[in-house]
Amino acid sequence: MDYSLPKLSHCNHVSVLSPQICKKDFEGFKKLFHRFLQVKGPSVEWPKINRPPEDSIQPYEKIREKGLPENVANSLNKLVVVKLNGGLGTSMGCKGPKSLISVRNENTFLDLTVQQIEHLNKTYNTDVPLVLMNSFNTDEDTRKILQKYTHHRVKIHTFNQSRYPRINKESLLPVAKDMGLVGESADGWYPPGHGDIYASFYNSGLLEQLIAEGKEYIFVSNIDNLGATVDLHILNHLVSQPNGKRCEFIMEVTDKTRADVKGGTLIQYEGKLRLLEIAQVPKAHVDEFKSVSKFKIFNTNNLWISLAAIKRLQEQNAMDMEIIVNPKTLNGGLNVIQLETAVGAAIKCFDNALGINVPRSRFLPVKTTSDLLLVMSNLYSLEAGSLTMSEKREFPTTPHVKLGSSFTKVQEYLIRFESIPDMLELDHLTVSGDVTFGKNVSLKGTVIIIANHGDRIDIPAGSMLENKIVSGNLRILDH
């Protein structure tokens, strides 16, 4: 069977997609596709997996003990903050980029990011720029919104990650018939995962430009991780390394809990620190991978990476990341596959790579409305774009919140809360069915509220529920 790729006609995407970019995307896809055809069997041999050596994952406290230098500004001026901004808000029932969802006091993920960096630049009189890696899904909407930050003290750059064709699972041929993003070809394309950052950043010319401006490191994180703020101690650790032992890549990891069993973990493999994702684990070992006792940490996707090293590895064609095969079913029922890579998987290509075991507070992702409830509540206080756990909470862990399907979409979720409950003393909340919350409700301990099918539960304004199970039908009628 001939798996050569059909010739696709010209680019007719927004003006930023020049023919050169299209050509580079296509080259990148061809390389990935050929690797996919050649790879046989799992990408890791289980017996070769070892725990990372002690010194390869440092506790954050040890990094912090070094203190900060007199002139923090020198280090900050070598830094660029990069946010992965390719995702849509569809899983939370929103149209457009996820970064434009309001998460706190009408502030979006993007607003909070800009506020954080502006605060740094004003406090230390520095010039830390923000770079957004958009996808063809988010680029246009994001660019429109960026105009509102023109008077903020933050330079904002954007570049687009690649656009690759989805592949028919049976024929292994591209689904798209042309380069268009509307009509029947709209489903034919996808952004190939955040591992694409290296090639896209390099191809955009922005990497070269930032190096020329004296920038040395990027801090990369997901835009929906509200814990991923610039940490001056980690930055100082990077910048103060002796030249011969310069660390080119730091991955922030944190202790696994039972909620994190699917997160990628760091292993030692063939003498190198390497990221092991659940997709690479042979089926027989999945339970072992998920166990909290053998693999104690997971990757937060907060990464600190040397710009010069990215440039070197791109030019040497030495960036090697395992392929993640992501199966999807399109609206018409067609089974396709997307070939993707993960940014952290490149850790094995960099010199003197290091893991830092950071506090859990550095990992605060908002993937669902259950997460949104936590960050909107009084558990967190907001200052200069950063969320910190309230000092009034007596223990540092976040409550476990599970909201049912009636809360999945942001619009529905907002209608169901007249105001966000007081959750300072909450351990666990499960809500299922048609439930609404009045103003000034307070939740403590373990609270389970289950409205059976056809029933509705209205939690009255001012209620205090402590270690309660509420079920059946509780409707408060105005009269």
One-character DSSP codes across 128-192: --EEEEE-TTTHHHHHHHHGGGTTSS--EEEEEPP-EE-EETTT--BS-SSS-SSGGGGGGEE--
Longest dimension (CA), the chain: 77
Which pLDDT does position 184 carry in this prediction? 65
- Full-prediction pTM beyond 0.85? yes
C-beta of residue 473 within 8 angstroms of C-beta of residue 456: yes
3-state secondary structure of 222: strand
Tens digits of residue pLDDT in 281-295: 888 888 888 887 778
- For strand 434-437 and strand 456-459, is the pairing parallel, antiparallel, or unpaired? parallel
Listing from the earlier edge strand, what are the strands of the sheet with 130-134? 57-59, 354-357, 249-255, 297-306, 217-222, 79-85, 130-134, 156-160
Which pLDDT does position 1 carry in this prediction? 42
Which pLDDT does position 41 carry in this prediction? 66
Tens digits of residue pLDDT in 302-346: 999 999 999 999 999 999 898 888 999 988 889 999 999 999 999
C-beta of residue 379 within 8 angstroms of C-beta of residue 393: yes
119 labelled as ligand-binding?
no
411 labelled as ligand-binding?
no
C-beta of residue 113 within 8 angstroms of C-beta of residue 385: yes
Which pLDDT does position 283 carry in this prediction? 84
Tens digits of residue pLDDT in 461-472: 999 999 999 987
Lowest mean pLDDT among 11-25, 59-73, 223-237, 405-419: 11-25
Burial class (CB in 10 A: 0-12, 13-18, 19+), 392: exposed
* Residue listed under structure tokens 């399907």: 405
Tens digits of residue pLDDT in 69-88: 999 999 999 999 999 999 99
* Positions marked active-site: 367
98 labelled as ligand-binding?
yes
Q: How confident is the model at residue 23 (pLDDT cuts 50, 70, 90)?
A: confident
Which pLDDT does position 5 carry in this prediction? 46
- For strand 156-160 and strand 130-134, is the pairing parallel, antiparallel, or unpaired? parallel
Lowest mean pLDDT among 100-109, 122-131, 177-186, 406-415: 177-186
367 labelled as ligand-binding?
yes
Whose CA is closest to 423, among 377, 463, 470?
377
Element spanning 34, H or E? helix 19-38
- Dist CA 301 CA 386 (whole Å): 18
- Dist CA 78 CA 218 (whole Å): 9
41 labelled as ligand-binding?
no
| Helix, strand, coil percentages, rounded to 5, for the chain | 35, 30, 40
